[in-house]
Each structure stands twice: as C-alpha cells, then as structure tokens.
Amino acid sequence: MSMPKTLEIAFGPGTAIIWMNRPDRRNALDPAMAAELAGALGELAGDDAVRAIVLAARGPAFCAGADLRALSDGPPTADPAAHAQAIAQMLKAVQACPKPIVARVHGPCMGAGVALAAACDIAIATRQAVFGQPQVRLGLQPAPTAPYLVRAIGMRAARRWILGGGTIDAAEAWRLGLVHEICEPDEVDLLINGILGDLMLAHPGTLVATKALLARLAAGQGGDAPDWQFGEAAREGIAAFTEDRHPAWVASLLANAAD
C-alpha cells in the first residue's frame, strides 16, 4: 500500500484501522486528505486479508469538517468547488466500500465529519463527543454532506439540525440514530473490538454480499433473488453449526492470529 501523508494505517487479524492524522488541524478535511482516505479505502477493498475497517482519528477531535483554512490561507488558486468535490468523492468511497466500516468518534465531529461518520456502516462515539452542522452559519450550503445525514437520521430531524446549524451531544446523536452506541472514552476500544469480533464471525464474501444487499434495499430496490443464496459458504457454515465447530473462515483467522 502506498504511504499516505495525512493518514496512518494499522492492521490486525482480519482488520485495518485508518487513523486520520492531522491533529494540529483537528483532522479537518483538505483535498489531499480526502483523496488519501478515498484511495486507502480503495486499496483496502481489494485486500483479501482485510474483512472490516475502523476509521479513527489522532488528537483531540475526530474531524473538524472541511478545512476552511485551506481556502482562506491557501494560494489564490484555491478552488472551493474542487475542495467540495474532493469531499463528495471521499464520502462516496466510504459508502461504496464493500467491507464494513466502523467509525470511532471522539471529541468534536463537525460538518463533513458528521457526514463521514454517517457514511460508515457502524458508528460508535464517546460520551464526550460533540456533533455540529455549522455550514449555514458560515454561508455554506451543505450539498456534499447533507444526503448522508438525511439517510442516517431521517429528513425531519435533519431539517431541524441542518437549518439550525447548531451542535448536539453524544446522547442526542444516539437518540437520533446517528451513532449506534456511546461509551466512556476508556471503553471505546473494547466496544469496537467486540463489534469487530462479531464481524469476523461472518463469512467474508457473504458479508460483502449482504452489505451490497442492504445498499440496494436502502435505495428502494429488492434483492437479486428471493432466497438465501445457498452456496458453499452456507454449506460450510451450517455444517460447522451442526458439528459444533468453527467454520473454516473463522478457524483460518484464529490460526493466523496465533501465528
């Protein structure tokens, strides 16, 4: 994998952790970081050793949103449209990734950062996390990010939040359905490891196919076929269940972890 400048990527058994690593800018998204994140997800999508991905952040904030200083402090050629397009493409890459992505949210999560968490399949937040939609107060229409928030919490709740431009705490984010669970900071990794453990029990190919099925259902489309797609993976899984043993895909992961 190519070495990104704004990210750190670590690997565990069946998993990859992408750390956004611009702590001095609170992981605000400039075009370079957005492109690197989209590229990293593309590479990890093709890595058979990776079954699930965690998106995390270094420093005191998960993501401060779009890096507006890249526009105000940047060269005269800084292009707001290109900046917005880079973030839009990044969010599409997150949502289109065939492998499950778990967001590990802590501290401030603003603007495009909220959309980033919403685009992930599963979002976990610490109780101290704060979520904001300040775009309208900055004179910005949140066109690249609003669709992800609407899909996550529904149009009615999104209208109140986006138009008001305010912030909410982690408990309210959980109530609205933006995050799935909240916990204390010293519990977040344990909670995420439990989620990853659940994901590792699934057959990798079936996990990918099921995520694609859910995407079609979210788009108002039906499944490809009204059956269980009973194939080799299902035969092995059912055999393992009846024989009270791990299926082959779990056994291989455990063996590799032991090595």
Successive 10-residue mean pLDDT values, the chain, 259 residues? 87 97 97 97 96 98 93 66 94 97 98 98 98 95 95 97 97 98 98 97 95 91 69 94 96 85
Residue with tokens 């603007």: 111
| Distance of alpha carbon 35 from alpha carbon 162, whole angstroms | 25
| Distance of alpha carbon 101 from alpha carbon 53, whole angstroms | 5
Whole-structure pTM value: 0.94
For residue 78, the model assigns a pLDDT of 65
Phi, psi of 105 (to 5 degrees): -100, 130
Nearest to 84, CA basis, from 7, 126, 141 = 141
For residue 139, the model assigns a pLDDT of 93
For residue 227, the model assigns a pLDDT of 67
Q: In sequence order, what E strands does 122-240 have?
A: 122-126, 130-132, 167-169, 181-183
